Chain A
Amino acid sequence: MNQQVKHIVILGGGSAGWLTAGVLAAEHMANDANGIQVTLVESPDIKTVGVGEGTWPSMRTTLQKMGVSETDFMRCCDAAFKQGSKFAAWHTNNVEDAYYHPFSLPAEFSQHNLAMAWQQYREQVRFDHAVSFQSHICDRGLAPKQIATPEYAFVANYGYHLDAGKFAQFLTQHCTEKLGVKHAQANVLEVKSHTNGDIASLITDVAGEIAGDLFIDCSGSRSRLLGEHLGINNINLQRYLFNNTALAVHVPYASQDENFASHTLSTGQQAGWTWDIALPSRRGCGYVFSDAHTSIDEAEQVIRDYVAQASSAEYAKQAELKQIKFNPGHKQKFWHNNCVAVGMAAGFIEPLEASALVLVELSAQMISEQLPQNRQVMDIVAARFNAKFSERWQQIVDFLKVHYVLSKRDDSAYWLDNRDDSSIPQSLQDNLNLWRYQSPWHFDATHTESLFSSASYQYVLYGMGFETLKRTHKTQSQAKLMQEAERLFAETARKSNQVVSQLPTNRELNLKIHQYGFQKI
């Protein structure tokens, strides 16, 4: 078979489906007669899960490439800025014991490893406060830019918090009206195959038979094409990361002008952690936990207590909770024959570092950049895709697990079990051994475009009280670093004071986005 890839069919209309459609349609010019055809099939009867309310900074580039106006996006999707995450009560069982994993790198990170210099001052100043001006912005509830900053540009690096349902709607409109994506609202009744096992077409109830050359499975955890039809199994990750249930809830503001945070607040709890994501119109909170370590009643009490603190006791009593069950894990392979899975159809894990949407973006980007011209070369691309994303899933497991491994909490079996050697991947154990003697640095990112940089590891490690010992012998670069470090710590403090005096609060800027919007330049 040497069939050209001219028609891509995407199954599923959540954020994963529409983001993938948008990335592919924009690059491969679906709105041009000489471009590629992109059809998205969406069941009118299946509701989207609506999780994944946090993005990485990569979303800015993704939206920009799709030709989306940032002002329109923020207005339509109830979106706010996200400058990173704050982890409270992870190190010890005390909510005051907290640290940031901000999106901005430590000062002059490409040249200087400030982590080694900071070790001397660790009793006096927190790592994030010493090396990142962004942590000071977050402390004060300030936005990462001003209204006069052009769209997608920043003073401090940022991604978004958004309403996933509104986001899917917004992308639907943008993809169908501007990018030439065809939208078929129909249920899939049957999947037809070629003799080589490739998917030939989808038989639908009201949109007839939809044939295609490449099928992208964005059907959510059901994995209608890759899982159900092609029989690709899951790799379960629960032995590393125990959480498999979530209780989600919306929390209203006390008043319309209440300021809100531009970081995700993650608080360690008895058998998991709670998330707290501030949108302009409400907060989205939830408790994600291991059902082997707590009962659903206990879990409900935890989240209701949290809501009571965040809002009021009355609201907490009557607030509607939504339960989400998931199997932490991913498919054995993501691309099989002429079908590739993106989003929850490919895998899902607790949203501790908001990895869901960024994996969708990275998948769509690789499919788009490496799009095989014909069926003959598709298997080569598929093999590369599978290798790349298996690697990324391992990177995610390691990085999420490091949050648990370094905890000193011993108030429940959950935290103790999380530190059991059998639950820690060997790759992470090796790294932790090494980092006792040298801090995470560029060489640790063994793969180019590693999902989590050594800066991310530094923020978490030193936020969690990890100690890297001083070298026993003198080195040339260490002597030089100590000279530079004084300057960089002072520079970070100066820059923090400067930007803090200039930036508006998140609420102030949000109002201005609605009133004036950002300029393109």
Chain B
Amino acid sequence: MSNHALLNNVDHKDLKISRKRNADMGDQVMFCMTFPVEFRSVQHDYPIFFRKDAQTGEFMPVAMFGFEQKENLFLKDDKWDAGYIPLVMDRDPFLIGFQQDRETGEKKPVIHINMDSPRVSNEEGEAVFLEHGGQTPYLEKVSAMLQAIHAGQDHGKAFVQKLVEYELLESFTLEVELNDGSQNQLIGFYTIHEEKVNALTAEALADLHKEGFLQSIYMVLASMSSIRDLIERKNKTLLNK
């Protein structure tokens, strides 16, 4: 189990978070979960596919960073080489925890921190708290990200449910030929079936539009143009070899 702690300005007053982006920091991942609320930003840099959660079999949208396990083509010189970093990656090492209100019994989201993360130290990186215990702008940003994730989860689930209901998802295999002639296959991912979207009835379209899902669908479709960018990044790594 990871060592998760409730963030507070007493225990963690001197805490600093490294913002370096590299394998040592755990950034070398092929994809991460994403949410419709950030699709507009994500689709600009990353293809959005769907993947099944191994524990539940439920689909979830993911932003792609590479073509094989542990490949993140956006890591470069300890930085993330893109204008937007998906929420799930950007919030690290912070996460949402829940605390029960003693009086109302209500569960409230609170900020937890993974103390085992290599990002965490007292020496290097962004400060979390100000000298007298106030929140740094960085922490305020983290807090906003976590809130977006919290809200985005339910909304994202509702989005996927609609896609399943209208049978808009299809499994696909992406075959990529690289400049060196090697063939690469991406399997186990799903995408939105564009022809099925085009064939939807007016009622179905209105239903999807109601909660903004229609726009999310088009964002996913638009993200397919980022596949080319991803292939180019991969080809560049071949040149450097």
| Residues of A bordering B, CB below 8 Å | 146-149, 512, 515-521
Contact B59 A519 (CB under 8 A): yes
Residues from chain B with Cβ under 8 Å of A149 in the complex: 57
Q: Of all chain B residues, which has the CB nearest A71?
A: B57
Residues from chain A with Cβ under 8 Å of B53 in the complex: 148
Q: What are the interface flags for B132-144 relative to A under an 8 Å C-beta threshold, 1 for contact and 0 otherwise?
A: 0000000000000
B1: interface (CB < 8 Å): no
Contact A148 B52 (CB under 8 A): yes
Q: Which 8 A-B pairs have the closest CB atoms?
A: A147-B57, A148-B52, A148-B57, A516-B56, A521-B171, A516-B57, A148-B54, A519-B57
Write the nearest CB–CB distance from B156 to chain A, whole angstroms.
Answer: 16
Give the contacts of B151-194 with A (CB-CB under 8 A): 164, 167, 169-171, 190
Q: What's the Cα separation between A149 and B171 when bound, in Å?
A: 12
Residues from chain B with Cβ under 8 Å of A148 in the complex: 52-54, 57
| A518 contact from B54, B57, B169, Cβ within 8 A | B57
Q: What's the Cα separation between A64 and B1 when bound, in Å?
A: 42
Contact A146 B169 (CB under 8 A): no
Contact B57 A512 (CB under 8 A): yes
Q: What's the Cα separation between A148 and B54 when bound, in Å?
A: 6
Residues from chain B with Cβ under 8 Å of A516 in the complex: 56-58
Contact B56 A147 (CB under 8 A): yes
B198: interface (CB < 8 Å): no
| A521 contact from B54, B55, B56, B169, Cβ within 8 A | B169
Q: What's the Cα separation between A147 and B57 when bound, in Å?
A: 5
Contact B167 A519 (CB under 8 A): no
- Mostly, the A contact residues are loop
| B52 contact from A512, A515, A519, Cβ within 8 A | A519
Contact B164 A519 (CB under 8 A): yes
Q: What's the Cα separation between A37 and B205 when bound, in Å?
A: 36
Q: What's the Cα separation between A515 and B55 when bound, in Å?
A: 11
Residues from chain A with Cβ under 8 Å of B57 in the complex: 146-149, 512, 516-519
> Could you list 6 A-B pairs, sorted by A, with CB under 8 Å?
A146-B57, A147-B54, A512-B56, A516-B57, A519-B57, A519-B59
Contact A521 B170 (CB under 8 A): yes
Q: What's the Cα separation between A520 and B57 when bound, in Å?
A: 10
Residues from chain A with Cβ under 8 Å of B169 in the complex: 521
Write the nearest CB–CB distance from A393 to chain B, whole angstroms.
Answer: 41
| A147 contact from B55, B59, B164, B167, Cβ within 8 A | B55
Residues from chain B with Cβ under 8 Å of A512 in the complex: 55-57
Give the contacts of B25-74 with A (CB-CB under 8 A): 52-59
Q: Of all chain B residues, which has the CB nearest A516?
A: B56
Write the nearest CB–CB distance from B158 to chain A, whole angstroms.
Answer: 15
Q: What's the Cα separation between A519 and B165 when bound, in Å?
A: 11
Interface centre among A149, A512, A515, A519 (most CB of B within 10 A): A519
Q: Of all chain A residues, which has the CB nearest B56?
A: A516
Write the nearest CB–CB distance from A17 to chain B, whole angstroms.
Answer: 32
Q: Of all chain B residues, which has the CB nearest A513?
A: B57
Q: Of all chain A residues, which has the CB nearest B164?
A: A519
Q: What's the Cα separation between A147 and B52 when bound, in Å?
A: 9
Interface centre among B53, B56, B170 (most CB of A within 10 A): B56
Q: What's the Cα separation between A15 and B56 when bound, in Å?
A: 32
Write the nearest CB–CB distance from A75 to chain B, whole angstroms.
Answer: 14
Residues from chain A with Cβ under 8 Å of B190 in the complex: 521
Q: Of all chain B residues, which has the CB nearest A145?
A: B57
Write the nearest CB–CB distance from A71 to chain B, whole angstroms.
Answer: 10
Residues from chain A with Cβ under 8 Å of B164 in the complex: 519-520
Q: What's the Cα separation between A58 and B44 when bound, in Å?
A: 47
Q: What's the Cα separation between A146 and B52 when bound, in Å?
A: 11
Write the nearest CB–CB distance from A166 to chain B, whole angstroms.
Answer: 24
Residues from chain A with Cβ under 8 Å of B167 in the complex: 520
Q: Of all chain A residues, which has the CB nearest B190?
A: A521
Q: What's the Cα separation between A264 and B59 when bound, in Å?
A: 33
Residues from chain B with Cβ under 8 Å of A146 in the complex: 54, 57
Beyond A147-B57, A149-B57, list 12 extra A-B contacts (CB 8 Å): A146-B54, A146-B57, A147-B56, A148-B57, A512-B56, A518-B57, A519-B57, A519-B58, A519-B59, A520-B167, A521-B171, A521-B190
Write the nearest CB–CB distance from A441 to chain B, whole angstroms.
Answer: 35
Q: Of all chain B residues, which has the CB nearest A515?
A: B56
Q: Of all chain B residues, which has the CB nearest A517?
A: B57
Q: Of all chain A residues, which has the CB nearest B59?
A: A519
Q: What's the Cα separation between A503 and B207 when bound, in Å?
A: 38
Q: What's the Cα separation between A517 and B170 when bound, in Å?
A: 18
Write the nearest CB–CB distance from B195 to chain A, whole angstroms.
Answer: 15
Q: What's the Cα separation between A156 and B138 when bound, in Å?
A: 51
Q: What's the Cα separation between A521 and B190 when bound, in Å?
A: 9
Residues from chain A with Cβ under 8 Å of B56 in the complex: 147, 512, 515-516
Residues from chain B with Cβ under 8 Å of A515 in the complex: 56
Write the nearest CB–CB distance from B69 to chain A, whole angstroms.
Answer: 16
Q: Of all chain A residues, which has the CB nearest B54?
A: A148
Q: What's the Cα separation between A112 and B179 when bound, in Å?
A: 41
Write the nearest CB–CB distance from A136 to chain B, whole angstroms.
Answer: 21
Q: What's the Cα separation between A519 and B171 when bound, in Å?
A: 12
Q: What's the Cα separation between A515 and B164 when bound, in Å?
A: 16
Residues from chain B with Cβ under 8 Å of A521 in the complex: 169-171, 190
Interface centre among A146, A148, A512, A518 (most CB of B within 10 A): A148
Interface centre among A516, A517, A520, A521 (most CB of B within 10 A): A521
Residues from chain B with Cβ under 8 Å of A517 in the complex: 57
Q: Of all chain B residues, which has the CB nearest A147?
A: B57
Write the nearest CB–CB distance from A519 to chain B, whole angstroms.
Answer: 6
Give the contacts of B86-121 with A (CB-CB under 8 A): none
Residues from chain A with Cβ under 8 Å of B171 in the complex: 521
Write the nearest CB–CB distance from B189 to chain A, whole angstroms.
Answer: 12
